Chain A
C-alpha cells in the first residue's frame, strides 16, 4: 500500500531551526509537496520538489531524495506564527495526491 510517515508533533523555540521529516512509499512518484495548515484553516502551499536536492524559499527549505523516499522541510528563524501543522503529500504515478497525517509544530517563546 501507499504510505507517508511524518512525526505527529514537534516542539521548537522561537528563533531556532527545526527540521520536519517525511518518508514515503508510493506507487510511482511525480512530486512531493509541503503545505502549512493553521488550525481551522485550509492548507497553504509551501514547496514542491520533483528532483533531488534542496529548494530554498526564504526561511523555508525543502529537500528531496527520491532514492531514499525521503524529504524534509527546514524552517529557520522560527516565529510564533509558524505554529501550525505541516502536511507532506506525494503525487503518485496516477497523479493522485497521497497525504501524510501532518506534523503539528509548537513554537515556544
Chain B
C-alpha cells in the first residue's frame, strides 16, 4: 500500500517556541492531506484539511494562526505549531488519500508525532 512518512516522531520543546512537523507521501501524489490531533485515550480529532496549492480548511475551534499548515507540493504538507504551550502537548497524525487509486476511501497515515511542550 501507499506510504506516508511523518517527521519528527517525537519532539520536546520549551514553551513559546515553534515546532514544524512534516508529512510526506512517498510513493503517490496526495492532493489532500489531513491533520489530526489525538489526546490520550481519546479518538482522532480532525484539525484541518490541507489542499495542495491552496489554503487549508480548519475545523471549528482550531486556531489557524497557531497551527500553520502549508501544502506546497503534491507530496509534502507541514504543520507548524507556533508559540507552543504545554496544553498543545499531544499526538499529531497526518493522513493522505491516493486520489489516483480509486475510491476505496482508505486513508494512509503517517507514523505520528508526539509533541511534548515543557
> With the chains together, A41 CA to B111 CA distance in Å?
6
| Chain B proximity of A105: nearest CB distance (Å) | 14
**B109 touches A (CB below 8 Å):** yes
Contact among B46, B95, B105, B114 with A91 in the assembled complex (CB-CB below 8 Å)? B105
Interface size on B, residues (CB 8 A): 21
Range, interface on chain A:
10 to 19
Inter-subunit contact A42/B46 (CB<8 Å): no
**Neighbouring B residues of A102 by C-beta, 8 Å:** 43
**A97 touches B (CB below 8 Å):** yes
A42/B109 contact (C-beta < 8 A), A87-B44, A97-B46 known = yes
Select from chain B the residue with minimum beta-carbon distance to A44.
Answer: B109
Of B1, B93, B106, most buried by chain A (CB within 10 Å of CB) is: B106
**Neighbouring B residues of A97 by C-beta, 8 Å:** 34, 46, 107
Select from chain B the residue with minimum beta-carbon distance to A4.
Answer: B43
Measured CB to CB, the residues of B under 8 A from A are: 1, 6, 34, 42-46, 91, 93, 95, 104-112, 114
| Chain B proximity of A44: nearest CB distance (Å) | 7
Interface contact tally, CB-CB below 8 A: 44
> With the chains together, A40 CA to B111 CA distance in Å?
9
Inter-subunit contact A43/B44 (CB<8 Å): yes
Inter-subunit contact A33/B112 (CB<8 Å): no
Contact among A30, A45, A101 with B106 in the assembled complex (CB-CB below 8 Å)? A45
**A99 touches B (CB below 8 Å):** yes
**Neighbouring B residues of A43 by C-beta, 8 Å:** 44, 93, 109
| Chain A proximity of B78: nearest CB distance (Å) | 17
Please provide the 10 A-B residue pairs with the shortest distance between their CB atoms, ordered closest to farther: A42-B109, A101-B43, A42-B112, A99-B43, A31-B105, A99-B44, A45-B106, A42-B93, A102-B43, A43-B109
28 contacts between A and B (CB under 8 A): A30-B105, A31-B105, A33-B105, A33-B106, A40-B112, A40-B114, A41-B111, A42-B95, A42-B110, A42-B111, A43-B93, A43-B109, A45-B1, A45-B106, A45-B107, A48-B105, A48-B106, A87-B44, A91-B105, A96-B46, A97-B34, A97-B46, A99-B45, A99-B46, A100-B43, A101-B42, A101-B43, A102-B43
